[in-house]
Structure 1
Amino acid sequence: MNIIIVGNFYTGAFGRHIAEVLTEMKHNVFRFEPGIKFKHNSILGKRWNTIRYTMYNEVFSKMSFVKNNDVKKLFVTAEQNKIDLTIVLHDYLSASHVKRLKNITKSPVVIWFPDALSNFKKSMFLTANYDVQFFVDKYISDTLKTDFRINTGYLPQACFPKYHFKTTLTKDEKQIFGCQITNVGNMYPARIALYRQLTKYDMKMWGDLPPVWADDDGIKPMMQGKHVHHEEKSKAFNGAKIVLNNLHPAVINGMNKRTFEITGCGAF
């Protein structure tokens, strides 16, 4: 099959894993990543890059002429190839974009929304004519099906055995990753509030530092300030006695991809 994936493809991204799996299954995958591709500015640092991304995503990307110009390459790809399926991995496309894409490809266009209810924002998918809308929270899937008669499905994310597997740590690696409790991901306020209850334990949190506006008093010693991916992520999981996989408070009846990654890595 010829399959278009609309999403992000950085290391560890949802879209990248799906694209790699489909490619291994001998499908032809066309990647389309919405938005501007900023060059990483190592001099000004991560904070500046975050500000640029936020400005684009929260301001400029919401302007119709910017959005329409952004998706031109997507339509060109659809016109130049016989597309059998399009998978959209967030609320990237407006209703008119989905309609045009379906008119071009004459094939199914589905959305697989990987976030919590709190990230609905514009909720363009509610009025877009997707063939199926998949969600990682069963509450969302059931509610949209019952209240709006949208064709929905409950589809959690999964681990990728190519990257999520059990590892054995060396003595030096145990010094780096060893701890009582660990987790991997973004440090948002709900996590800060939870982790403040765990300061008496030896805990390591892998990922970006909290936003500059967040009060991170009490948890700074936990923060490693470093991302871990693939084998390193497995080492972080296996180096801890417990992997604390807390869900965002807006997740009502679902689970995150970390659930599967932890078990795939053979951690507890």
Structure 2
Amino acid sequence: MKMDFKKYIHDTVSLQKVITAADIPHSCNANSDPVVSYNGRRLHSAVDPHQEADEWIRSCAGQIVEMLRRHEKASVLVVGPGIGYAIPALERYFDNHAIAKSRINIHCIEAFPEIARKALSLSLWEPSELKVEWSVIDESTRFSDLYMYNDSVCVLKGSADYQIGKPVYEEFLGRKVSSRLSNSRLRVLVPTPLYGGSLPAALHSADALTELGYEVELMDLSIYYDHYRDIDKLTRIEAHQKSLRGLLATFLAECIVARANEWKADLVWAVAQTPLTPPALRELRHLGIRTAFWFVEDYRLFEYWKEVCLDYDAVFTIQKGDFHRQLHALGVAHFAYLPCAANPKIHYPEALSPQERLRYGSELSFVGAGYFNRQLVFSEMKKHDLKIWGNDWPQSMIDSKLVQEDGRRVATDETRKIFNSSKVNINLHSSPQHDGINGDGDFVNPRTFEIAACGAFQLVDSRSLLPELFTSEELVAFNSIEEMKEQIERFSHDDKSRQLHAERARARVLRDHTYAKRLADAMRFMLDAFPELQQKTESSFVDSLIEAVADDSEMAEYLDKLDREAATDLDAIVSTIPLGKGKLSRPEGILLLMKEFRDWGVEKGVIS
């Protein structure tokens, strides 16, 4: 049967690509659902693709509902739609939530013509009441080339198809928001935790947001850690300790609110363990200040997210699946998967001196805290040239010299030296309950990205979310302690393989897994979900003039001193020039001349 591709494709470029594309084969699962792979990678679940699509839509449909509260219509861009299981999932979601489908336009953005052809040939969504359109893009496609609706737009992304074509999709979406990320007037306050593993995430987030062009203030609360720690010295009574820590958290939360209000922040970006209490978050919401929470911890072990997630405007997680189902069940409207990352300014290949290599170097190394599973695994490896770095290890392992330098906390600069001077870096994710590897482990820890960014070789325990972040040619994963030992033996003597894996892993991090990439994704999510933030990111009239006169430093300097809130057009700028009070500067003369010429043109009808 001949497929009428014109039914869903309305631009000639996409239509020609699909017509001439190869027809890729498909199989069917036990439920007769089509199963399709592309370049050796499956586009969806082979067991239950409908359930997988339902879970994905539930995790991101909150932004659609929010947009429909403010607008009559919304356009949903499904970026990387695969063969289209998301479309019937959207229809089921709208049916369950009594949303009129006439208010929704679905626009599928596909990077691979073969996938689009297969999807349109199958048309899994038919029959449908939804208005559906498909477009095929490439590296040169501009957002404005395809998107022509006048109503609001929501972007849904994160499928397997999106991961396969991520560079093309990110380039396309980047053009949608690139103008928002330069000369941004949006102010982001980043308060830090007092201490712990999530503190670096806050510091790297602030650095990335600054790199993206936002106005950022880092509120370093780690200076209060000594006060937190000294509470134990004041009293040994647990009830008093708990009360005092609660009072300190309340004080710091109010400090964050006060600073955000004083500084006129538009967004407060918090990470796990940032001392923001529900009352403080509600106060920020009352002030019109948006909040985002990057929960960079295991939701199963640290359950305090349940107490605060509803009071944040958006929640970002390093896990998905069941965690996202729980967030949805609690009523969290805006949440998204945001894995950990590396900061190339901090994590990079470094040449060490002979003294540094002697101190930090070894055949095998491990950096991290002494969780139960790690203690059991490494206590059996005393015969290896192994150095363990970090705190919270038992005294027996410190006394045996396995744990280095009395088990002190290791600074970030030192971890880079350790990674770069170790032949094999072991990366064993923490678990307080398992004897070795957590077979149910899903999230990928920051250390994975940091070691890779340093151009160092690592062996990492398998995680369910690891394959979508790194390939087996980039990272070597083990599924058991015996397999880890076999890999140590193999790669310790294979310099070439270690180097190839390390180089590929570093290239992958620099391309896909930097904090700048993560925060750009997060801010796209925030700007799509909250239109008032988007307005703040648009360049002011003054900024557009500065960009236009970039080669005239004198004029640019003059313009930069103007009040951007007040100087909204040429008339407003000229009104600030003090006439009759002495000689005009060159920029002032030029601006007056521009106004005179503009007014003359309007009077003569040659300028509208």
TM-score for the superposition, normalised by structure 2: 0.38
1:221 alignment partner, SS class: coil
> For residues 13 and 58 of structure 1, do their structure 2 counterparts lie closer, same or farther at Cα, with a shift above 3 Å needed?
farther
- Offset of 1:118 from its aligned partner? 0.8
CA distance in 1, matches of 2:316, 2:289: 17
Contact 2:372/2:431, CA 8 A, preserved across alignment: no
Contact 2:427/2:448, CA 8 A, preserved across alignment: yes
> Do residues 198 (structure 1) and 381 (structure 2) align?
yes
Contact 1:141/1:152, CA 8 A, preserved across alignment: no
Aligned AA (1:6): P
Larger helix share, 1 or 2: 2
- Offset of 1:155 from its aligned partner? 0.9
> For residues 51 and 182 of structure 1, do their structure 2 counterparts lie closer, same or farther at Cα, with a shift above 3 Å needed?
farther
- Offset of 1:139 from its aligned partner? 4.2
Structure of greater relative contact order (alpha carbons < 8 Å, 6+ residues apart): 1
2:344 alignment partner, SS class: coil
Aligned AA (2:267): L
Q: What is the 5 A alignment of 1:41-120? A: 59-60=242-243, 63=246, 65-91=247-273, 92-104=275-287, 106-116=288-298, 117-120=300-303
- Offset of 1:221 from its aligned partner? 1.9
2:401 alignment partner, SS class: helix
Larger Rg: 2
> For residues 154 and 57 of structure 1, do their structure 2 counterparts lie closer, same or farther at Cα, with a shift above 3 Å needed?
farther
CA distance in 2, matches of 1:77, 1:110: 16
CA distance in 2, matches of 1:31, 1:191: 34
CA distance in 2, matches of 1:175, 1:58: 43
1:70-90 residue CA offsets vs partner (Å, 9 max, x unmatched): 322212112212212111112
> For residues 62 and 186 of structure 1, do their structure 2 counterparts lie closer, same or farther at Cα, with a shift above 3 Å needed?
same
> For residues 178 and 50 of structure 1, do their structure 2 counterparts lie closer, same or farther at Cα, with a shift above 3 Å needed?
farther
Aligned AA (1:79): N
CA distance in 2, matches of 1:34, 1:132: 22
> Do residues 256 (structure 1) and 438 (structure 2) align?
no
CA distance in 1, matches of 2:356, 2:239: 39
> Do residues 13 (structure 1) and 200 (structure 2) align?
yes
1:78-121 residue CA offsets vs partner (Å, 9 max, x unmatched): 221221211111253232221111111x1421110111131224
Aligned AA (1:181): L
CA distance in 1, matches of 2:216, 2:377: 40
Contact 1:141/1:153, CA 8 A, preserved across alignment: no
Contact 1:3/1:86, CA 8 A, preserved across alignment: yes
Q: Give the alignment partner of residue 24 of structure 1, picking from 183, 205, 211.
A: 211
CA distance in 1, matches of 2:240, 2:371: 18
> Do residues 223 (structure 1) and 408 (structure 2) align?
no
CA distance in 2, matches of 1:2, 1:262: 32
Aligned AA (1:192): Q
> For residues 161 and 51 of structure 1, do their structure 2 counterparts lie closer, same or farther at Cα, with a shift above 3 Å needed?
farther
Aligned AA (1:102): R
> For residues 36 and 161 of structure 1, do their structure 2 counterparts lie closer, same or farther at Cα, with a shift above 3 Å needed?
closer
- Offset of 1:238 from its aligned partner? 1.9
Contact 1:134/1:141, CA 8 A, preserved across alignment: no
1:168 alignment partner, SS class: coil
> Do residues 133 (structure 1) and 315 (structure 2) align?
yes
CA distance in 1, matches of 2:217, 2:239: 24
Q: Give the alignment partner of residue 207 of structure 1, picking from 373, 386, 390.
A: 390
Q: Give the alignment partner of residue 2 of structure 1, picking from 183, 187, 193.
A: 187
Q: What is the 5 A alignment of 1:137-176? A: 137-139=319-321, 141-150=323-332, 151-176=334-359
Aligned position for 1:43:
none
- Offset of 1:135 from its aligned partner? 1.4
Contact 2:194/2:225, CA 8 A, preserved across alignment: no
CA distance in 2, matches of 1:255, 1:226: 24
Q: CA RMSD, aligned part only? A: 3.4
Q: Give the share of equivalent positions with the same residue, in percent.
A: 23
Aligned AA (1:162): K
1:215-240 residue CA offsets vs partner (Å, 9 max, x unmatched): 64588422113444444322211211
> For residues 240 and 52 of structure 1, do their structure 2 counterparts lie closer, same or farther at Cα, with a shift above 3 Å needed?
farther
Contact 1:139/1:253, CA 8 A, preserved across alignment: no
Aligned position for 1:185:
368
1:162-203 residue CA offsets vs partner (Å, 9 max, x unmatched): 010012233322212221211222222222122123222111
2:268 alignment partner, SS class: strand
TM-score for the superposition, normalised by structure 1: 0.79
CA distance in 2, matches of 1:31, 1:120: 26
CA distance in 1, matches of 2:245, 2:255: 18
CA distance in 2, matches of 1:135, 1:57: 33
Contact 1:178/1:240, CA 8 A, preserved across alignment: yes
Aligned position for 1:44:
none
CA distance in 1, matches of 2:223, 2:351: 40
CA distance in 2, matches of 1:119, 1:86: 22
> For residues 220 and 147 of structure 1, do their structure 2 counterparts lie closer, same or farther at Cα, with a shift above 3 Å needed?
farther
> For residues 36 and 232 of structure 1, do their structure 2 counterparts lie closer, same or farther at Cα, with a shift above 3 Å needed?
closer
1:118 alignment partner, SS class: coil
1:133 alignment partner, SS class: strand
Aligned AA (1:237): F
2:224 alignment partner, SS class: coil
CA distance in 2, matches of 1:29, 1:18: 10
Contact 2:195/2:225, CA 8 A, preserved across alignment: no
> Do residues 245 (structure 1) and 245 (structure 2) align?
no
Number of corresponding residues: 255
Q: Which runs of 5+ in 2 are unaligned?
A: 1-185, 433-439, 458-608
Contact 1:94/1:125, CA 8 A, preserved across alignment: yes
1:22-71 residue CA offsets vs partner (Å, 9 max, x unmatched): 2333433233455872559xxxxxxx8795699899713553x5443332
